[in-house]
Amino acid sequence: MLWSGWGDPAKAAPLPESMVGLLRDLLGVRPAEAPPADLTGVKVAAPRLSGDDLTALAAVVGDGNVRADAESRLRHTRGKSTPDLLRIRAGDASDAPDAVVLPGTHGEVLAVLRACAARRIAVVPFGGGTSVVGGLAPQGVDSFVALDLRRMDRLVELDEVSRTAVLQPGLRAPAAEALLNERGYTLGHFPQSYEWASVGGFAAARSSGQASAGYGRFDDMVVGLTVAAPEGDLDLGRAPKSAAGPDLRQLVLGSEGALGVITSVRVRVHPVPEAREYEGWRFASFDQGAAALRRLAQDGPLPAVLRLSDETETMVGLADPAAIGGGSSAAGALAVLGFEGARGPVADRRAAAAEVLRGAGRGPRGAGAGGELGHGRVSAPHLRA
């Protein structure tokens, strides 16, 4: 976790023995030497920014919010894909930013972008650093800064009439959920990167979470965006639906920060569900499970969570073998269903879904299999790290 910057070291755990055996027997992976105990052995090239460049940035955000020390730069190097983690563990810091800049307001973001544009310094927006698509390591640039948005971490507004909330981009997912829960609402968005991902990153990456079947992907939730670009501001989205031409929100959503920096997001929120019921269903094969879940997706009832793991993922241990009713050799494919809402409708939808699945599946495996989904998906990056 030292190398990935991901998670709480107190929660560190070894790989399950079943996974170790799978890596060894199927892929020929052997234990490697432990990486160094700290980051001091990793060599980082000197920043390519001049003292005048750093002074100009500090004039915008303050001296303490421009960091060019080795550790800050290392912790903003690349994202969290497996190749990213392997390269940093091997001591490769070739993609380190030349400085880390931490703006606190939309105005500061805009001023930083203009200063960097004038000095031909590339800017990479940085939220939780959980990217797995290479977007945090620009190519073909002379110098670049990581624009860390962590200081912009507020719930700005909650409109309980329209059930929308305005969130700043550096607000991490657990903090956003806690702030909304205090007011009786939820985003309902829980991707695997949940512990560290930010609201701005959700929008920039068109994030999809485990409950997207019920709540939608994050881009389905977004009704408005404010974006800062060197040429000025973009204030996008006035109504959830409009017939007035192209919806420019769709250009920004998923753009990975290439068109500007998202500085606020207006999203739909939902009342905290009265009941959450999860269960797992076993199928003899992935194809059999896919056919059964297709019936639910097309004809209903559609659960909030609808996920199917193939035979390999099920065997590796997405869920505890005891919870899914058998050892890994008999795992088959595991489907996890989650129902959220008022107690009565949740019970009705769960029973109706069981009627659809009972003919194809091997019966519900109980709450244990479904309950492992959230924990297993969120903790999986800790194992990779």
- Output the domain CATH number for residue 362: 3.30.70.3450
Taking the C-alpha atoms of residue 136 and residue 129, their distance in angstroms, rounded to an integer, is 8
Average pLDDT of the segment spanning 263-288: 94
Which of 71-80, 107-116, 249-258, 333-342 has the largest mean confidence? 107-116
Q: Are residues 160 and 139 part of one domain?
A: no
- Position 319 scores a pLDDT of 42
**CA dist 148 → 19, 154, 261, 324, 363 (Å):** 35, 15, 11, 42, 48
- Position 90 scores a pLDDT of 82
Q: Are residues 333 and 252 part of one domain?
A: no
Question: Given the DSSP bridges, would you call strands 122-126 and 144-148 parallel, antiparallel or unpaired?
Answer: parallel
- Position 380 scores a pLDDT of 57
Q: Are residues 120 and 228 part of one domain?
A: no
Question: Residue 18 falls within a domain, yes or no?
Answer: no
Question: Given the DSSP bridges, would you call strands 155-159 and 164-167 parallel, antiparallel or unpaired?
Answer: antiparallel
Q: Are residues 299 and 234 part of one domain?
A: no
Question: Residue 187 falls within a domain, yes or no?
Answer: yes
- Position 328 scores a pLDDT of 44
Q: Domains in the chain: how many in total?
A: 3
Average pLDDT of the segment spanning 322-349: 77
Q: Say yes or no to pLDDT of 11 above 90.
A: no
- Position 313 scores a pLDDT of 80
Higher pLDDT, 171 or 134: 171
Q: Are residues 179 and 138 part of one domain?
A: no
Give the up-direction half-sphere exposure of residue 188: CA atoms within 13 A in the CB hemisphere: 30
CATH number, domain of 71, equals: 3.30.43.10
Burial class (CB in 10 A: 0-12, 13-18, 19+), 15: middle
Question: Residue 30 falls within a domain, yes or no?
Answer: no
Q: Say yes or no to pLDDT of 37 above 80.
A: no
Q: Percent of the chain, pLDDT > 70?
A: 81
Residue type, 168: Q
- Position 365 scores a pLDDT of 59
- Position 7 scores a pLDDT of 58
Q: Are residues 258 and 212 part of one domain?
A: yes
- Position 42 scores a pLDDT of 80
Q: Say yes or no to pLDDT of 229 above 80.
A: yes
Higher pLDDT, 320 or 111: 111
Q: Say yes or no to pLDDT of 331 above 90.
A: no
Residue with tokens 């494919």: 333
Domain boundary, last residue among 229, 253, 271: 271
| Contact status, residue 145 vs residue 58, Cβ threshold 8 Å | no
Question: Residue 4 falls within a domain, yes or no?
Answer: no
CATH number, domain of 229, equals: 3.30.465.10
Q: Quick check: helix, strand or coil at residue 241?
A: coil
Question: Residue 24 falls within a domain, yes or no?
Answer: no
Q: Are residues 250 and 184 part of one domain?
A: yes
Question: Residue 335 falls within a domain, yes or no?
Answer: yes
Taking the C-alpha atoms of residue 268 and residue 114, their distance in angstroms, rounded to an integer, is 32
- Position 217 scores a pLDDT of 93
Exposure string of 265-283, with b = 16+ CB inside 10 Å and e = fewer, is bbbbbbeebeebbbbbbbb
Q: Are residues 359 and 284 part of one domain?
A: yes
Domain boundary, last residue among 271, 291, 320: 271
> Among candidates 191, 212, 214, 189, which has minimal Cα distance to 303?
214
- Position 370 scores a pLDDT of 52
Mean pLDDT (the chain, rounded): 86
Q: Say yes or no to pLDDT of 320 above 80.
A: no
Q: Residue 347's domain spans which residues? A: 275-384
Q: Say yes or no to pLDDT of 14 above 80.
A: no
**CA dist 202 → 221, 267, 279 (Å):** 10, 11, 27
pLDDT-based confidence at 315, cuts 50/70/90? confident
Beta-bridge mates of residue 335: 281, 308
Q: Are residues 139 and 66 part of one domain?
A: yes
Domain boundary, last residue among 98, 121, 148: 148
- Position 149 scores a pLDDT of 97
Q: Percent of the chain, pLDDT > 90?
A: 64
Q: Are residues 172 and 260 part of one domain?
A: yes
pLDDT digits (tens, 9 = 90+) for 61-103: 999 999 999 999 999 999 988 888 888 888 889 999 999 999 9
Q: Are residues 142 and 41 part of one domain?
A: yes
Q: Are residues 159 and 143 part of one domain?
A: no
Taking the C-alpha atoms of residue 318 and residue 377, their distance in angstroms, rounded to an integer, is 8
pLDDT-based confidence at 322, cuts 50/70/90? very low
| Window from 7-16, 54-63, 160-169, 339-348 with minimum mean pLDDT | 7-16
Question: Residue 2 falls within a domain, yes or no?
Answer: no
| Contact status, residue 3 vs residue 38, Cβ threshold 8 Å | no
- Position 95 scores a pLDDT of 93
In the chain the beta strands, taken as DSSP E runs, fall at: 66-67, 99-101, 122-126, 144-148, 155-159, 164-167, 185-186, 222-229, 232-236, 261-268, 270-271, 275-283, 305-309, 333-341
- Position 358 scores a pLDDT of 85
Taking the C-alpha atoms of residue 225 and residue 240, their distance in angstroms, rounded to an integer, is 12
- Position 190 scores a pLDDT of 93
- Position 329 scores a pLDDT of 45
Cα 21 from chain centroid (whole Å): 29
Under DSSP, the state recorded for 338 is: E
Question: Residue 342 falls within a domain, yes or no?
Answer: yes
Q: Which H helix or E strand runs over 20?
A: helix 17-27
Give the up-direction half-sphere exposure of residue 285: CA atoms within 13 A in the CB hemisphere: 3
Higher pLDDT, 316 or 146: 146
| Contact status, residue 143 vs residue 48, Cβ threshold 8 Å | yes
- Position 321 scores a pLDDT of 45
| Contact status, residue 319 vs residue 327, Cβ threshold 8 Å | no
